Amino acid sequence: MPKVSVVIPVYNVEQYLNKCVQSIVNQTLEDIEIILVDDESPDACPHMCEEWAKKDHRIKVIHKKNGGLGFARNSGLEVATGEYVTFCDSDDWIELEAYQTTYNKCKEKDLDICWFQPRRVTTDGTFLPLSPKKECYFLDEAQMRNFRKDIIGRNPEDTQSRTRGMSSCMALFRRSIFLTSGVRFPSERDVASEDLMFLVLFLPHVKRVGILPDVFYNYLINPKSISTNYSEAKHTRLLNLLAKLKAFCDENYEWSEIKNHYYSQQLRIFKVILKYISYSDEAFFRKVSHLAEETRNPMLTSFYQDPVRNKYKKEDRLYIWMMKHHVGLFFALLYKLKR
């Protein structure tokens, strides 16, 4: 059994794939398997995957019908044999000591999941600033319960609570939990933030978690890639995420315990929705009307009525007030200035 299985979904990334795979082949932890999942990529990637498999016996290649990132990860999980499993997007790359350091910590602390830190890199090679993180662990049920709630969102009434935006690409997961729980990734074509929904479903099966301060994951971004088109499909996926989160919260928590965490995530999602509408190509006055209409979504009614809205920082309180009073013009002008 290899110590770590690395699942890499591959789609239309021929200019980045070699750098990604090279960073994993050269890991200081040599006892790994690398699973390249070709998601019916239309470019040279299928051939490149096969060429990599010829170079390194640790590499497996899966060719599958296109189904998106989440389902490609699931396909990799089906053939993974490692003690731990991790994921890497094929346009990103990993620091060479990442898996050795993280695996050693997993063994030392008997962790089910151990995260490390990312940094964002622009297409011209610029590393964007990041804030340092502290090493921390969640090793008993009380700590894990708070951690699970903070994955959903922070509680503004609790100074110890913080939103934990964690990615499956920046962690090692004990593979046996996938086998015993049956949890898999949802499709990003169904819900936005498939990582978040996966973690919400996976974490109830997890007992011990660690977070390392080490910056090991290089996440490639394009600052100019923010969409200027409002997408109904994107809007639907965001609301689907909120609906599934709400159903999970209702089933697994008393509402009084989880509502503040859920509201923080709900506010985040509606900020995304309002931003994309503001960036759309709609005529200005139609856009203002559209923004006001969005803030009338019935999903927001209980949040508008809950006193927790007064516990947010000043900028958020203003934002929420504008949402509650459906001032579409505010959001149109706000995001026009931000651009």
Q: How confident is the model at residue 222 (pLDDT cuts 50, 70, 90)?
A: low
Rounded distance between C-alpha atoms, residue 320 and residue 300, angstroms: 10
Residues 6 or more apart in contact with residue 200 via CB below 8 angstroms:
148, 151, 152, 245, 248
Given a cut of 60, is residue 120 above it in pLDDT?
yes
Mean pLDDT for the stretch of residues 31-39 = 98
pLDDT tens for 260-286 read 999 999 999 999 999 999 999 999 999
Residue 68 φ/ψ region, left for φ over 0, alpha for ψ in the -120 to 50 degree band, beta for the rest: left
CATH class of 4-221: alpha beta
Which pTM value belongs to this model? Answer: 0.94
Checking 136-140 for CB contacts under 8 A at 24+ apart, the result is 136/210, 136/211, 137/109, 137/111, 137/208, 137/209, 137/210, 137/211, 138/208, 138/209, 138/210, 139/109, 139/208, 139/209
Mean pLDDT for the stretch of residues 222-228 = 49
Whole-number pLDDT of residue 123: 86
Q: How confident is the model at residue 229 (pLDDT cuts 50, 70, 90)?
A: low
Give the mean pLDDT of the chain. Answer: 95
Q: How confident is the model at residue 95 (pLDDT cuts 50, 70, 90)?
A: very high
pLDDT tens for 292-324 read 999 999 999 999 999 999 999 999 999 999 999
Under 8 Å between Cβ of 20 and 121: no
Q: Is 191 exposed, middle or buried (0-12, 13-18, 19+ CB in 10 A)?
A: buried
pLDDT tens for 143-201 read 999 999 999 999 999 999 988 888 999 999 999 999 999 999 999 999 998 999 999 99
Given a cut of 60, is residue 117 above it in pLDDT?
yes
Hey, how many other C-beta atoms are within 10 angstroms of the C-beta on 196?
Answer: 23
Whole-number pLDDT of residue 132: 86
pLDDT tens for 38-79 read 999 999 999 999 999 999 999 999 999 999 999 999 999 999
Whole-number pLDDT of residue 224: 47
pLDDT tens for 121-139 read 988 888 888 888 899 999 9
Whole-number pLDDT of residue 42: 96
Given a cut of 70, is residue 223 above it in pLDDT?
no
Both tokens of residue 214?
Answer: 């080490």
Which range (47-56, 208-217, 220-229) has the least confidence? 220-229
Q: How confident is the model at residue 90 (pLDDT cuts 50, 70, 90)?
A: very high
